[in-house]
Structure 1
Amino acid sequence: MATLGMHRDFLLEFAALEKPVQKRVFEVFEKFAAATHAGLHLEKLTHQKDPRLRTIRITDFWRGVVLKAETGGSYLLLKVLPHDKANDWAAKHRASVNDATQGIEIRNDVALERATAGLRALAAGEPARLFPASGYPDKVLRSLGVDEEILPIIRLIPDEDHLEALHKVLPEQQYDVLLGLATGMSPEQIDRELVQAYARTAAQPARGSEDDELGTAMARSRGRVALVSGADELLEIMERPFDAWRVFLHPSQYQVAYQESYAGSARVTGGPGTGKTVVALHRAYHLARRLPADAPDGCVLLTTYTKDLAAELERCLELLVTDDSVRARIRVVNVDALANEIVRADRGGGPLKLVFDQKEITARWERITRRLGLDFTDVFLDQEWRHVILAQAVATPEEYLKVTRTGRGSGLGPLKRLQVWRAVAAFEEQLRQAGEWTFLQVCAEAARVLDGRGERPFRHVVVDEAQDLHPAQWRFLRALTDRGADDLFLAGDTYQRIYGNRVSLRSLGIVVVGRSYRLRVNYRTTQEILAWSTALLTGERPDDMDDGKETLADYRSTMHGERPRAAGYPTKAEELAALVVQAEQWIASGVEAEHIGVPVRFIQLGRDIAQALERAGIAACVLKAGRGGPGVRIGTMHRMKGLEFRCVAVAGVNDGTVPMKSAVTAVEVDAQQHQEDLNSELSLLFVACTRAREVLRVSWHGAPSPFLAPVTDPRP
């Protein structure tokens, strides 16, 4: 039986082809998918490295490069290029099977020969070796899939920079192994997280494929090759080339998303761009797909902490799930909206009167302290209420006297605690008298309602951006589904925590021990942007939400590009003028305006930037809740969370703005909370910078943010 495979590199490049060429590519390879290609002419080349590589006519100008099985009926589409470039590519490249993973690999033999010659010349005067035989014996490297032809080359590599220069030259699976070793992973970790991941997630080869080595190797190449079972599937894949992530989950992602079942709650962590959200989407799909046919609609919850992020999850889910019956089983809604719905239903359906203006809330605390004659600031009381009392569901003054105040820097004796409780009781009574609620109170009440019923509305709950949820929200999530197999699946990264909510999952009855997985490879951002942005963190080690510490060790990118640039200007007008010039240059180079993002710390600066761009004739859109028009995307750093752009210009990173003074507790009020707030502001800048896929620019006017000191010359 004929098998058609499509290599990831082809699909990622397919989007750049003109529509008529795309249509013609489909028409040609539809015959392969339907096994009616016998009359098509596959042309061999002279002096080529791999005689199995053939070219096929797409148009007079364009040709496809196809790998044809020596035996059996399998074909792998690798490239569609202009005629001469297709012939040149096919002449230089060769396919092989990785000894460890048994998956297909494509290598550029001509480039490897040139690289080897260059490394030999370098080695004559450079004694350093990145992979000396004494530390990395041949036997160990071979067991990880590094083949005999590559071993002599890698013995010449002096440092990690030279290894990264070989990224596009070495076979990809072997490069992944070597980069992992170079960044500190042990051979055992490499085997477990890379080699065995491929083995565990390999598709089953078709029956009768024993004589079809290519078909078997393609089936074992999940993450790099999509197997096409028919013309309909071929059309579906080609119609969504930008959504290639639907087809190409890396095995390390696939094994987490599609594990048949977890014994309890499970979690995936990882830095920006590692695919946590993609894994969460696929996990929700997997859970919904395996439910019995009579499962009710909406019994799998996919949720996150804001409406904007929930809307993006819903958009992506529509791309992923094409079966209407499976899609109907997944409900997407943000946590607060769902809690509001449950409390409203319990109270007869009327709307809840919500208080969400933080200035109004702190003003109420200030009036209460004045009336009661208490020696506490409004900020301190508000934080004590949220981070201690609501976080631990404290209901009485007796409980408050005994409760631990982990994370709070100001000690409180019994008398002081009773004074705090007087203020809290007065504040909550004011809300009750006015029939008002805060979002966290609604979540706490929704959890109480669900626990009182005993019936749970969902069979499975999948949570994205888990790091930003408050303990009251976690209690609500815990109450949404029965404890048991696959009850909760969490995706998050505490390095991206931007709301300062600390939580111990274990203390809330959410146990992920033995079912926690960390993704290490960034598939969105270049290594240069990643390294620059990570340097901002200057050794910060946030908690991992499970009584441990998170780490970005071994975190790396598969892509390379130019280094980020940071620049200061004497005035705001000059900074905005430079930003307009930069946007004009990006657009002139072929970047669409909608693929440019401008994060700012406060929205007024964003509006000023939009006006400056529009005066220059560049369309601009200031992002609002759930809406975005044409043009350069401008938004607060908070609103940019979960978005990504080809080019990003982070603007207004000034001293006094980043960190924003009003967002940081005064050190004399609570030194520990002061540091927590600084960490949240730093994480916000980190999030803004890592929205960039290809190019990052950071600017300020006046004095630069102190956060920029580790990565740039502070002189404007």
Structure 2
Amino acid sequence: MEGIKILHYHKFWNSFVDLPKGIQKKVVDFQEKFRKDSKSAAIHLEPISTFKDPTLRSARIDQTYRAILKSFNDGNIFYLLWVDHHDKAYQWAENKVIDWNVDTQALQIFDNPEVTPLPNFKTENFDIPGLFAEYSDKDLKRLGLPEIILPSVRKIKVDQDLYQLEDFLPEGVYEQLFYLAADGDIEKLISEVEEGKVKAEELEKQAESFNNQRSFIEFTDNNVFNEVLEGGLDKWKYYLHPEQRKIVTNNFPGSAKITGGAGTGKTVAAMHRLKYLVENSRPGEKILFTTFTRALTNNLLESTRGLNFHLSNVSIRNIDALALDLAKEYGLVPSDAKILEYDNQAANRLWEKLLNENLISYGADFLEKEYCDVILNNNVSNLKDYLKTYRTGMGKPISRRQKKGLWDHFEKFREIKNRENYFYKAELYNTLSDYLNEKEIRPYSHCLVDELQDFSNAELRLVRALVEEKPNDLFMVGDPLQKIYDRRINFSRGARINVRGKKSRRLRVNYRTSEEIKRLAISIIKDISYDDFDGEEEEKAGYISLFHGVDPSYTTFKTKDQEINHLIERVQTLINQGYSLSELAITSRTKNGYKDFRSGLHNAGIPYCEFQGGNRIGDAEGIPLLTFHNIKGLEFKQVFLVDVNERTCPFLPRGFEYYTDEEKESHLRSERSLVYVAISRAIQNVEISGVGNKSEMINI
């Protein structure tokens, strides 16, 4: 048959990667032959009497291996579902229900509940209404719930029942029921399903719906198979959740803000959005992809190369390096300009010089904080504006007279630091933003921002100045719950970026971590209120992980040697189980916290490396040693949080007792976010250890 299309089930790759290399190559050859003539006698496409679904077909890879496919009405679309040894392939397929859902325009795969025993809910006799009792059968079906499973869903009384039914529900339906149990807005969920459909009657066109592309993609070349043959497959490059795909391809009327918890695929969505913009941009358009740290920038560079699109008109830059280079290019700062945040000793020296040369009743710490958090963060350039600027979160209020005196001091400080060519980063951003706006220079056509929560108003004002205001100008992703730096963001007032209404989206599916790890991470910050970057509270409920794993553990020891020996034993056990050292990570609140573990690894002959400025120092294939700050943006199969006790988590800096109540609250919020970040870097397991009393932040 001409025009045969093969759509690959995303779980097909689970079976394919486990095949011997020789058989994998035969699968590639099989598909080429199948596309040319699916009815060839050599392919042996045939129904199997033991399959409960009579439309499933088996096809011969060779004498021993079989592929499982499905088609509808002898059409030209075939779904390649599984490939395995003859008996194992049939065993996988025999009790499956595989059917097209007209309500969602997606193929659904699940175990036949008439054959596979369903769980017996312990709460089924409780005299309470079902968890979904208030919703009609019709509405639940519009979410994709198959008729055959509806009676079981009606028996669900509590969330735990829903967890038990997860394996018996089609992908996507479990998510929808989870969301429905969390916030009860069924109309919103139905609307999202409808947005993921296409307006077409033909089944071939409906197969291209976002809802179906979540699990089924057509590959017209062998690139993805070659990727597997060369040693791995990153499915994030190809398969996107409908929520992600809608965001990636959406035509936003202006700037877009995408939030989501750790592991929800924000960066993945941003990288695919970059590819989409590149492929749909006009000749000569330049696109900027920026983030906060050099380490994250290096990760973005490496990841985007795997998406196979031209980067000639794309600049992937750390925001600090970009700002300094542009400021020098436009002659706004001297070529030997130096950044004070990179030289704390110089900053202290300059403020002390101001105090020594003038009679000032304020300390250096207060002056620097007022200058950076009020003057620079709000881009205040004159006394008149300073007098009108709110000092929210700065503690004790100061009078107009005091502000006038402070302004004189700040003017003198500028003269002192300018003589030595020193600049604060925010000062650099403000100078560059003002220049670009005044000259109406827009270096880029589009800008994408990753790890948005790390940015300040000053950086966002620069981002706004780099691109002309127009449809699809800014695309910014971040997680307010990971806000580990004390930087205030307000899009509307602080950066003049409008992201209200449909310009703001929220991702909810956690792809990285197990449900058990996700629950622990959320428990760290569940009682803390986080701003959504625009004056509203960010939601924490409704996140769902798509797989389960082992429960995280927290063990304390009497001595440091006991903790180190325990960790060394666990690392050696994991190595014996087949883990590579680079799949593991050891992280602590401070660099000093993992120092003794570094010595322990050295004595045990286990290679290790440390992260500095985004680069690995030491054995690049060794186990990474990182602080909670350094591990941000990375992921590992297993993460060890070490040196975790009541003294280190939360970590209280010297002089904390003299902080204002607001400053204490802000610091403790950041400390919780740091632990949340560290825990959520793990994919399969988290093990926490320490010496002495446990941290009150972690309840396991």
What's the TM-score once normalised by structure 1's chain length? Answer: 0.90
Matches within 5 A, 1:306-705: 306-320=293-307, 322-324=308-310, 327-347=311-331, 350-355=335-340, 356-362=342-348, 364-366=350-352, 368-369=354-355, 372-507=358-493, 508-514=495-501, 515-628=503-616, 629-662=620-653, 666-705=656-695
SS at match of 1:530: helix
Structure 2 CA distance, aligned partners of 1:693 and 1:90?
Answer: 29
**Which shifted more, 522-531 or 696-705?**
696-705
> What is the identity, as a one-letter code, of the residue corresponding to 2:561?
A
SS at match of 1:42: coil
Structure 2 CA distance, aligned partners of 1:617 and 1:353?
Answer: 41
Structure 2 CA distance, aligned partners of 1:34 and 1:331?
Answer: 42
**Which shifted more, 620-629 or 653-662?**
653-662
- Give 1:234 deviation, angstroms: 5.7
SS at match of 2:697: helix
Structure 1 CA distance, aligned partners of 2:159 and 2:324?
Answer: 52
Q: 1:617-646 CA distances to partner (integer Å, 9 max, x unpaired)? A: 322221222323102122111111111111
- Is residue 98 of structure 1 aligned with residue 86 of structure 2? no
- Checking the alignment, whether the CA contact within 8 Å between 2:334 and 2:421 is kept in structure 1 is no
Structure 2 CA distance, aligned partners of 1:198 and 1:155?
Answer: 26
Q: 1:576-606 CA distances to partner (integer Å, 9 max, x unpaired)? A: 2111122122222222211112222222333
Structure 1 counterpart of 2:28: 26
- Structure 2 residues not aligned, in runs of 5+: none
SS at match of 2:675: helix
> What is the identity, as a one-letter code, of the residue corresponding to 2:272?
H
- Give 1:425 deviation, angstroms: 3.0
> What is the identity, as a one-letter code, of the residue corresponding to 2:320?
D
> What is the identity, as a one-letter code, of the residue corresponding to 2:144?
G
- Give 1:559 deviation, angstroms: 1.4
> What is the identity, as a one-letter code, of the residue corresponding to 2:248?
A
Matches within 5 A, 1:44-59: 44-58=47-61
Structure 2 CA distance, aligned partners of 1:595 and 1:20?
Answer: 27
- Give 1:87 deviation, angstroms: 1.5
Structure 2 CA distance, aligned partners of 1:349 and 1:21?
Answer: 62
**Which shifted more, 558-567 or 369-378?**
369-378
Structure 1 counterpart of 2:194: 196
Matches within 5 A, 1:288-307: 288-292=278-282, 294-296=283-285, 299-307=286-294
CA 1:180–1:473 in structure 2 vs 1: closer, same or farther (change >3 Å)?
A: same
Q: 1:507-532 CA distances to partner (integer Å, 9 max, x unpaired)? A: 12100112110111111111111111
Structure 2 CA distance, aligned partners of 1:484 and 1:242?
Answer: 37
Given the alignment, which residue of 243, 248, 270 partners 1:257?
Answer: 248
Structure 1 CA distance, aligned partners of 2:526 and 2:570?
Answer: 29
Structure 1 CA distance, aligned partners of 2:662 and 2:132?
Answer: 46
Structure 2 CA distance, aligned partners of 1:706 and 1:425?
Answer: 45
Structure 1 CA distance, aligned partners of 2:559 and 2:322?
Answer: 45
Structure 1 counterpart of 2:256: 266
SS at match of 1:78: strand
SS at match of 1:114: coil
CA 1:503–1:231 in structure 2 vs 1: closer, same or farther (change >3 Å)?
A: closer
Structure 2 counterpart of 1:228: 219
Q: 1:516-559 CA distances to partner (integer Å, 9 max, x unpaired)? A: 10111111111111111111114111111112111112122121
**Which shifted more, 547-556 or 395-404?**
395-404
Structure 1 CA distance, aligned partners of 2:526 and 2:650?
Answer: 15
Structure 1 CA distance, aligned partners of 2:165 and 2:345?
Answer: 54
SS at match of 1:88: helix
- Checking the alignment, whether the CA contact within 8 Å between 2:207 and 2:213 is kept in structure 1 is no
SS at match of 2:118: helix
> What is the identity, as a one-letter code, of the residue corresponding to 2:243?
S
- Give 1:34 deviation, angstroms: 5.0
- Give 1:566 deviation, angstroms: 0.9
**Which shifted more, 499-508 or 422-431?**
422-431
> What is the identity, as a one-letter code, of the residue corresponding to 1:343?
A
> What is the identity, as a one-letter code, of the residue corresponding to 2:549?
G
CA 1:50–1:676 in structure 2 vs 1: closer, same or farther (change >3 Å)?
A: same
SS at match of 1:100: coil
- Checking the alignment, whether the CA contact within 8 Å between 1:112 and 1:170 is kept in structure 2 is no
Structure 2 CA distance, aligned partners of 1:438 and 1:588?
Answer: 50
Structure 2 CA distance, aligned partners of 1:334 and 1:289?
Answer: 23
- Checking the alignment, whether the CA contact within 8 Å between 1:464 and 1:490 is kept in structure 2 is yes
Structure 2 counterpart of 1:179: 178
SS at match of 1:273: coil
- Structure 1 residues not aligned, in runs of 5+: none
- Give 1:24 deviation, angstroms: 3.0
Q: 1:171-214 CA distances to partner (integer Å, 9 max, x unpaired)? A: 11322222221222411121123x124215x9x79xxx65x79x
Structure 2 CA distance, aligned partners of 1:665 and 1:78?
Answer: 61
- Give 1:442 deviation, angstroms: 2.0
- Is residue 151 of structure 1 aligned with residue 140 of structure 2? no
SS at match of 1:71: coil
CA 1:198–1:236 in structure 2 vs 1: closer, same or farther (change >3 Å)?
A: farther
SS at match of 2:472: coil
> What is the identity, as a one-letter code, of the residue corresponding to 2:172?
Q
SS at match of 1:149: helix
**Which shifted more, 215-224 or 639-648?**
215-224
Structure 1 counterpart of 2:79: 76
> What is the identity, as a one-letter code, of the residue corresponding to 2:288?
L
Structure 2 CA distance, aligned partners of 1:26 and 1:685?
Answer: 45
Query: How many residues in Structure 1 have an aligned counterpart in Structure 2?
Result: 690
> What is the identity, as a one-letter code, of the residue corresponding to 2:692?
G
- Give 1:32 deviation, angstroms: 3.1
Structure 1 CA distance, aligned partners of 2:20 and 2:483?
Answer: 41
Structure 2 CA distance, aligned partners of 1:91 and 1:669?
Answer: 66
CA 1:444–1:124 in structure 2 vs 1: closer, same or farther (change >3 Å)?
A: closer
Structure 1 CA distance, aligned partners of 2:229 and 2:32?
Answer: 11
CA 1:80–1:671 in structure 2 vs 1: closer, same or farther (change >3 Å)?
A: same
SS at match of 2:169: coil
Structure 1 CA distance, aligned partners of 2:83 and 2:595?
Answer: 43
- Checking the alignment, whether the CA contact within 8 Å between 1:103 and 1:217 is kept in structure 2 is no
Structure 2 CA distance, aligned partners of 1:581 and 1:496?
Answer: 31
Structure 2 CA distance, aligned partners of 1:303 and 1:363?
Answer: 32
